[in-house]
Amino acid sequence: SQTIHQWPATLVQPVGSPLSLECTVEGTSNPNLYWYRQAAGRGLQLLFYSVGIGQISSEVPQNLSASRPQDRQFILSSKKLLLSDSGFYLCAWSVAGVEQFFGPGTRLTVL
């Protein structure tokens, strides 16, 4: 069966510090991968998606970047965090145009 992992689960970082969030998927090959952000009391905002290794598409201009160094690994990064980067970050995967499966999320607080 398929499993999706995200770490860390929670993170508190100072403004201006770097960020690296990791997402890995097990039990499937060549998934589509997604990063979403959910601000407090808000819906989901799609940040990045990837249909293959090294293929990243950005949905909104922002302070973040994403990379996919391996088939089942998706990384969200920032060189310098802003206060507005705080939120709940969700990774998701899908195959063949049906539903997306979500990871447990990372709660990021930027102080």
Residues lying near other proteins in the complex (CB under 8 A) are found at 32, 42-44, 46, 49, 51, 88, 90, 92, 94, 96-105, 107
58 vs 101 by CB, closer to other proteins: 101
Give the nearest distance from C-beta 86 to other proteins in angstroms: 14
Give the nearest distance from C-beta 29 to other proteins in angstroms: 15
- Per DSSP, the residues of the chain read --EEEEE-SEEEE-TT--EEEEEEEES-SS-EEEEEEE-TT--EEEEEEEEETTEEEESS--S-EEEEEETTEEEEEESS--GGG-EEEEEEEESTTS--EE---EEEEE-
16 vs 109 by CB, closer to other proteins: 109
Give the nearest distance from C-beta 90 to other proteins in angstroms: 6
